[in-house]
Amino acid sequence: MLIAGNWKMHGSRGMAADMLEAVNRTLQKASSDAVEVAVFPPATLLSFCKERAQPPLMLGGQDCHSENTGAYTGDVSADMLKEAGASYCLVGHSERRQYHGEHDAQIQGKANAAHEAGLKPLICIGETEAQQAAGQTQAILKKQIQGAVPSAFTPADFVLAYEPVWAIGTGKVATPEQIAETHHFIQQQLPEGATILYGGSVKPDNIAEILALEPVHGVLVGGASLKAESFCKMITLAMEANNRD
Decide if residue 222 touches ligand PGA (CB under 6 A): yes
For residue 203, the 8-state DSSP code is -
Decide if residue 61 touches ligand PGA (CB under 6 A): no
**Side-chain half-sphere of 188: how many Cα atoms within 13 Å?**
9
Residue 172 DSSP SS3: coil
CB burial readout 66-86, b (16+ within 10 A) else e:
beeeeeeeeebbbbbbbebbb
Gap between the Cα atoms of 205 and 207, Å rounded = 6
Nearer to ligand PGA, 122 or 145 (CB): 122
Instruction: Name residues contacting ligand PGA, limited to 151-170 (CB under 6 A).
Output: 163, 168-169
Q: Is 230 in the site for ligand PGA (CB under 6 A)?
A: no
Q: Are 21 and 50 in contact (CB under 8 A)?
A: no
Assess 202 for contact with ligand PGA (CB under 6 A).
yes
Among 86, 221, 234, 238, binds ligand PGA (CB under 6 A): 221
Among 27, 125, 186, 220, which residue sits at the site for ligand PGA (rule: CB under 6 A)? 220
Query: Which of these ranges, 49-57, 65-73, 149-157, 216-224, lies near ligand PGA under the rule CB under 6 A?
Result: 216-224
> Nearest-CA neighbor of 167 among 233, 91, 94, 241?
94
Binding site for ligand PGA (CB under 6 A): 6, 163, 168-169, 199-202, 220-224
